[in-house]
Amino acid sequence: MNAIPICGSPALLVKTKGERVLVVADLHLGIESELTKRGMALPSQIPRAKEELVRLMNKHQVNRLIFLGDVKHNIPIASWREWRELPQFFEELTQLARVDIVRGNHDGGIEGMISKNVTVHDARGIVLGKRKRIGLMHGHTWPSPDLLDTQIIVMGHNHPVIELRDKFGGKVIEPVWIRAGLNVKKFPKKLRPQGEDSPKLLVMPAFSKLVGGAIMNRELPEEYIGPIFKAGAVELEEAEAYLLDGTFLGKLANLSK
């Protein structure tokens, strides 16, 4: 099984026997309504998100699309735009591929906005493959025990970014992929794997360009969200950061300096 970040895009291509799967996280569709309340009027981003997903699905010939949580944005009450546009959004995507949602913390009530052909999974995640298995989850909960018996766990939730500065004080924020080890001794006892091996962790950048992110080379570890991070189970000192174009930036420990 191969799991390959798509160059130039915050999306992952997973190749299993008989399936080509596109994985994306944190679309936060409908966030424009929140931004409008803050004085920033924006058109709906749902058509643009659908266009980009369709482009990626066609280019990479995928037959399955998996959303790793936070497909929608507004909680606890969805915006009128979400209720109006999301059903058609999902209906059109299901014409191209099988569609799954691994529930995120912003996805309450999403069952009323999706096509009947969309499958919604528990927030603790799902597993792809039989031998070289990959675990997929959003990240706001502990994973299912099944995910600890995989080679790698892929999650979203933190929207990782890196802050780059020049000597004149200018700065730019770039989305990144984070690859890290996991210290499973920090997991609850009932979740710890029986063997010596533990999966690696891959944290996906947010698909939405409008959401903020955890600045991985500036913020303190306790400011990251989700129980895996809060428990100190992510080996951040040795974690590696990659830009969307594949550029290896180095280890977070060095980038923070």
Q: Say yes or no: domain 2-255 is CATH 3.60.21.
A: yes
> Residue 223 pLDDT > 70, yes or no?
yes
Question: Is residue 213 very low, low, confident or very high in pLDDT (cuts 50, 70, 90)?
Answer: confident
Q: What is the mean pLDDT of residues 129-145?
A: 91
pLDDT of residue 212: 81
pLDDT on residue 60: 96
Give the per-residue pLDDT at 230.
93
| Spatial distance between the Cα atoms of 146 and 136, rounded to a whole number of angstroms | 10
219 within 8 A of 204, measured Cβ to Cβ: no
The values of phi and psi at residue 161, to 5°, are -140, 165
Neighbour-count burial of 41, counting CB atoms closer than 10 A to its CB (0-12 exposed, 13-18 middle, 19+ buried): exposed
| Predicted local confidence at residue 209, as pLDDT | 87
pLDDT of 168 reads 83
Residue 195 has pLDDT above 80, yes or no: no
Question: What pLDDT band is residue 191 in, cutting at 50, 70 and 90?
Answer: confident
Do 37 and 167 contact (CB within 8 A), yes or no? no
Tokens of 83: 């209720």
Task: Provide mean pLDDT across the span 78-105.
Answer: 86
Contact 171, 163 (CB under 8 A): yes
Question: 214 pLDDT band (50/70/90 cuts)?
Answer: confident
Domain range summary for the chain, segments of one domain joined by +: 2-255
Residue 5 and residue 18: Cα distance in Å, rounded?
19
Q: Are 241 and 178 in contact (CB under 8 A)?
A: yes
* Tens of pLDDT, residues 2-40: 889 999 999 999 998 889 999 999 999 877 665 555 555
Count the Cβ atoms, other than its own, within 10 Å of residue 249: 18
User: Cβ distance 100 to 87 under 8 Å?
Assistant: no
* Range 154-171 average pLDDT: 90
Distance, CA of 16 to CA of 96 (rounded, Å): 18
Per-residue pLDDT at 74? 66
Length, in residues, of the chain: 257
User: CB neighbours of 199 closer than 8 A, spacing ≥ 6?
Assistant: 135, 147, 148, 150, 151, 152, 153, 182
Mean pLDDT of 74-80: 62
Q: Report which of residues 60 and 210 the model is more confident about.
A: 60
% of the chain surpassing 70 pLDDT: 87
- Give pLDDT, residue 43: 58
